[in-house]
Amino acid sequence: MADPRLAVRKTYKLFIGGKFPRSESGRSYEVGAADGTFLANAAQGSRKDARDAVVAARKAFPLWAEATAYNRGQVLYRVAELLEGRRDQFVAEVADGEGGSPAEADRLVDAAIDRWVWYAGWADKIAAVAGAADPEAGPYINFSVPEPTGVVAGDAPQSSSLLGLVSVVAPVVVSGNTAVVVAAERTPLPAITLTEVLATSDLPGGVVNVLTGRTGELAAVLAAHMDVNAIDLCGVTGQDVAALERAAAGNVKRVMRPAGEAEDWAADPDPQRLLAFTEIKTVWHPVGV
């Protein structure tokens, strides 16, 4: 007997400033499973949406950057708890979008949650690893302290809708930066569910902003934006990388280049991704007379 219920066709929105606005263009696009089955409609973000996300990230930056490392860590641990609570939904979305087996989706989702916890644990350790207190030849000591870069844009990897996304977002925010992330174009549903988790967590609005839509269109806006301090291009491929690097040079952005299509997001995370978006502040302090 056929199911008499009508399917509820979801049309998702963007995540900007802790809220869920529609795209100002009113556009959306269909998201399908790996086998072509319709799953939902996602908002197709515009240039203005990208600019609005940068404004939200900049507004949230001072409060998040000035939070204690302990506080940031606890907030991110809470996000991991909520990710665990939505685990079954993430598994279904990863399996549908990426086309793998349920067992493979289980493994990827568990790895994504574990990775979020791993990065959260770095919150109060970054200064110890990257900082220094060096005695000098004169009567003073040189203190070097890592500080967040500012607003970081990221293009999530197209091949890893959740684990790759977490690998891009978590190291950016744990050190005190704020983020504007373009979700994987073909498989945005795990990113959308992550925004629902973030909205119900303790993370201040605007710390993470997620755009869905055409990666090429949105990445170009963020790379050229004069109020974006750094950009991670791991979700961009081919000749687009060089063009975006040239655009990013306009305000001397830090740029993380993609490792290539073959990058294994399931491999052990690299602590250098944490340090890529920090800057070292050096203070010379006199020693007592």
Beta bridge partners of 282: 144
10 Å CB burial of residue 225 (0-12, 13-18, 19+) is buried
Q: Helix, strand, or coil here: 32?
A: strand
Strand partners, 145: 281
What pLDDT is stored for residue 137 in this prediction? 77
Q: What is the CATH number of the domain that holds 203?
A: 3.40.605.10
Phi and psi torsions of 23, nearest 5°: -65, 140
Domain, as residue range, for 156: 39-286
CA 49, 247, 239: angle at the middle one, nearest 5?
A: 100
The distance from CA 85 to its chain's CA centroid, rounded to whole angstroms, is: 20
Is residue 275 included in any domain, yes or no?
Answer: yes
98 within a domain of the structure (yes/no) = yes
**58/52 Cα distance (integer angstroms):** 10
Whether residue 171 lies inside any domain: the answer is: yes
Residue 31 covered by a domain: no
Over pLDDT 90: what percentage of the chain?
Answer: 77
- Could you tell me if residue 30 is inside a domain? no
Closest CA to 162 of 226, 101, 117, 98: 98
Tokens of residue 277, six digits? 């978006």
Q: Give the Cα separation of 202 and 285 in Å (integer).
A: 36
CA distance 126 to 281: 13
How far CA 187 is from CA of 99, 134, 162, in Å, comes to 10, 48, 9
Q: What is the pLDDT of residues 112-159, one digit of tens each?
A: 999 999 999 999 999 888 888 877 777 888 888 899 999 999 999 998
* Residue closest to 153 by CA, chosen among 223, 104, 52: 223
The stretch 96-106 carries a mean pLDDT of: 94
Q: CB neighbours of 280 closer than 8 A, spacing ≥ 6?
A: 130, 131, 144, 145, 146, 147
pLDDT at 48: 97
Q: Is the pTM of this model over 0.95?
A: no
CA distance 163 to 94: 10
> Would residue 23 count as lying in a domain?
no
Beta strand 38-43 with 132-135 is unpaired
Average pLDDT value over all residues in the chain: 92
What's 153's DSSP letter?
Answer: E
Inside any domain, residue 12? no
Kindly give, in sequence order, each residue whose CB lies less than 8 Å from that of residue 219, ignoring residues fewer than 6 positions away: 153, 155, 182, 233, 235, 236, 240, 244
Q: What is the pLDDT of residue 262?
A: 66
pLDDT tens digits along 58-95: 999 999 999 999 999 999 999 999 999 999 999 999 99
64 burial (CB, 10 Å; 0-12 / 13-18 / 19+) is buried
Which amino acid is residue 31, in one-letter code? V
Residue 169: partners with Cβ closer than 8 Å, 6 or more residues away: 154, 179, 181, 194, 208
Look at residue 5 and tell me whether its pLDDT is greater than 80.
no
Output the pLDDT for position 8.
77
Residue 27 lies in a domain: no
CA separation for the pair 182, 78 (Å, rounded): 23
Contact 89/105 with Cβ under 8 angstroms?
A: no
* Number of independent structural domains in the chain: 1
